[in-house]
Amino acid sequence: MSVTSLLKVLGGWPIRGLHCRGSHSSVAKADQTLAFVPASPPLDPAEVQKLQEFVSRARRLFVLTGAGISTESGIPDYRSEGVGLYSRTDRRPVQHAEFLRSSRARQKYWARNFVGWPQFSAHQPNVAHLALRNWEILGKLHWLVTQNVDALHAKAGSQRLTELHGCIHRVLCLSCGDRTPRTDLQERFEALNPTWRAEAHGVAPDGDVFLSEEEVRTFLVPPCGKCGGNLKPDVTFFGDSVSKEKVDFVYQRLGEADSVLVAGSSLQVYSAYKFALAARDGKLPMAVVNIGPTRADSFVTLKLNSRCGELLPLIVLK
């Protein structure tokens, strides 16, 4: 069946149809899941066919994903028009230098993360994550690099994967470098704060919520269980940089690829944008699936202003 025929069968809105199948509660859940997805135009079958042809020609596809692939799992992003954190509030994420310097900043971050963790850790991969995993299984996807720290690609089963900015499901000791599961720290938080209560005032993109200053003031943060050092999520905060070893590794995987697909990223963060620039300089064909403009729009082979979860599952591998 061609892409055009498949769109006609599915009414041009395949993924929403999958979410909405079943009870009224399923419909409500779908609406909630898409709450952080910006508006996008209906799929154009001709444009979908272009992406089909692009992927079909690729033999070693390098894929770079951003927050726009996880918004359909109910995780907000920072920059999306109307629904991203920067549009909804004047709050900003913690800065790396501030976290290292200030015990108050660490207390505030961990209190917010503690409250938000049960919901954030429960998020599941959507059909876009699963589609990319299937591309890997079928030998189409050479390597996947994600800017996201939500572990959804790993949950989907992707193995040829680099988490460029780390993973919030791990915790790092800033003194001894010990890494532990975030779930273990949640238990330590609960034991140390048995009577502490707080009310969340909105959700943020990276696993935390907004709390009042008064609520944060009495929250206790445990030290590293090995050396007593300060704990940090194993992610690259704003103002920090990705390790040279990881960057070099990604460049090597990009050098082995023959095509590039950017999915769900505006490429505003330079740690990801530089790989798009390297692909351009290497004259690799490049496609972008993202709602809204990106920094690479002027030099990509193909740009589709669509939801990743609406489009990627339509691509048929041959």
Cβ(112)–Cβ(210) under 8 Å?
Answer: yes
Give the containing element (helix H, strand E) for 119: helix 103-122
Q: Is 292 annotated as a binding residue?
A: yes
Residues 6+ apart with CB under 8 A from 22: none
Residue 86 among known ligand-binding residues: yes
Q: Is 282 marked as binding a ligand? A: no
Active site residue 165: yes
Q: Which residue has the tokens 């909804």?
A: 88
134 is in an annotated binding site: no
Judge whether 78 is annotated as a binding position: yes
Closest CA to 40 of 80, 86, 87: 80
Within its chain, how far is the Cα of 125 from the centroid?
A: 10
Which two three-digit tokens encode residue 118? 């049960």
Residues 270 and 241: their CA atoms lie apart, in Å, by 10
146 appears as a binding residue in the annotation? no
Tell me whether residue 74 is annotated as binding.
yes
Does 248 belong to an annotated binding site? no
- Flag whether 137 is marked binding: no
Q: How far apart are CA 205 and CA 160, in angstroms?
A: 25
- Give dist(CA 128, CA 51) in Å, integer: 15
Q: Which residue in the list 19, 165, 169, 201 is annotated as catalytic?
A: 165
DSSP 38: P
Q: Is 265 annotated as a binding residue?
A: yes
How many helices (H) does the chain have, and how many strands (E)?
Answer: 14, 9
- Does 245 show up as a binding residue in the annotation? no
63 labeled part of a ligand binding site: no
Rounded Cα–Cα distance for residues 141 and 133 (Å)? 8
Q: Which residues fall in the annotated binding site?
A: 66-86, 147-150, 173, 176, 224, 227, 264-266, 290-292, 308
Q: Which residues fall in the annotated binding site for Zn(2+)?
A: 173, 176, 224, 227
Q: Which residues fall in the annotated binding site for NAD(+)?
A: 66-86, 147-150, 264-266, 290-292, 308
Catalytic residue positions, numbered: 165
